[in-house]
A and B are shown apart, each in its own frame.
Chain A
Amino acid sequence: MSWPSPGRAILRAAVGFLGGLALWFALSAPYERLVAGAAEIVLRTAERPAVTRLVARGGEILVDRSDFPPAAPRPGLPAADLHFNFVILTALFALATPLRAGRAALALGLLFAVHVAALCCQVESLYATRLGPWSEANYGVFARNVWAAAFHFYQIAGRFAAPFAIWWPLALWDRTDEKPAQKGPARRKKRRG
């Protein structure tokens, strides 16, 4: 892999960004369903009884519980905030050529795992801090702080840092896989004439 000059880097990043943006707009809705489904499985695994349902609809992830009163409004979480960092990852991958499909797939898998974990933290943070007396009855002070801090960290820094933290070791992988130039006597050019 070769590192481009600053001008080329900006150009490549812009191309990767626009490509990522097109994909993001096209695939956001099914991707949100996928993330919501995976996060629901994780959350229900830790619940006794398993009551959480996550439904991706209209750019939001609606949080439902089978023990919510039927008439109560279901809280919605903005989905774009969760996964817009996909376009940052595509821009970073466009910085270096050639694009390694395996590494790009690995990066996407890691980013998906980050999105699922962030959504789980967001739902737990909602349960722990925004449901009034129910939150206080079911979550202790420590648990409330942990879930709120975990989601707050994702909001303030994690969502921006995740693409870089995923991309950096994969990009370096390329650099360190390069074999160092073999030292030896320089071959003389044949003189013609």
Chain B
Amino acid sequence: MKEKNVPPAADDPAVRRRRSYAFLARFLLLLVGFALLVSWNPVNDAVIVPFTAGVARASALALNVLSENVTVAGTELRSGSFGVDIENGCNGVETALLFGAAVLAFPASWKARLTGLVLGFLGIQALNLVRVVSLFWIGKHRPALFSAAHTVLWQSVVVLAGVLLFLLWASRQKPAARAEA
């Protein structure tokens, strides 16, 4: 009598662990690919810089609603003697790349992925707008707090929000898909 090779069950802890490591590997590969893509000068000049200028214009609009009298020149915001230049790292793109890599690496339908990508991107950019506006206000009115708020506080909050959005999205996928990751 021959013994049949029975495939391991999907809820087998070893299988789930292996699939989870596969998710992590796909995530890291996609992240490296995305990072290379946005670092490529033609992409940076044609997409990232104009997008950052859009972030600057939206932030100026919000700051002017708060009566800060802000002017915009490209990616730079200025009010009186205080000005900031929104650089890569402050435009929410890095967190969006992180979120996008995680969503695309996660086993789910393309419709679910697309919905997640659109909603996640909008959520991250909305939070990033609050970040830029608040940092400009802090820099102008409480300059001593600017460095800590810029480097530690807001960067971490935006990245953490991106991770939480991904976990929320992943927890809403079908159990079969979750078992695969």
Contacts and interface: CB of A to CB of B under 8 A. Distances in A.
Interface of A: 3, 6, 9-10, 13, 17, 21, 24, 78, 80-81, 84-85, 87-88, 91-92, 95, 152-153, 155-157, 160-161, 164-165, 168-169, 172-173, 175-178, 180
Contacts of B157: 17
A173 B18 CA distance: 11
B172 to A, nearest CB: 10
A169 B160 contact: no
A156 B89 contact: yes
A169 B28 CA distance: 13
B119 interface: no
B32 A88 contact: no
A88 B159 contact: yes
B168 A17 contact: no
B32 A153 contact: yes
Interface of B: 11, 13-14, 16-17, 20-21, 23-24, 27-28, 31-32, 34-35, 38-39, 88-89, 94-95, 97-98, 101-102, 151-153, 155-157, 159-160, 162-164, 167-168, 171
Nearest to A153: B35
Contacts of A3: 167, 171
A36 B38 CA distance: 30
B156 A165 contact: no
A108 B89 CA distance: 24
B38 A176 contact: no
B28 A152 contact: no
Contacts, number: 91
Contact of B13 (A81, A169, A176): A176
Given A152-B39, A157-B34, A164-B98, A88 B156 contact: yes
SS class of chain B's interface: helix, strand, loop or mixed? helix
Nearest to A24: B152
25 contacts: A9-B167, A21-B156, A81-B151, A84-B151, A84-B152, A84-B155, A84-B156, A85-B156, A85-B159, A87-B152, A88-B160, A88-B163, A95-B167, A156-B88, A157-B32, A157-B94, A160-B94, A160-B98, A160-B159, A161-B98, A164-B102, A165-B24, A173-B17, A176-B14, A176-B20
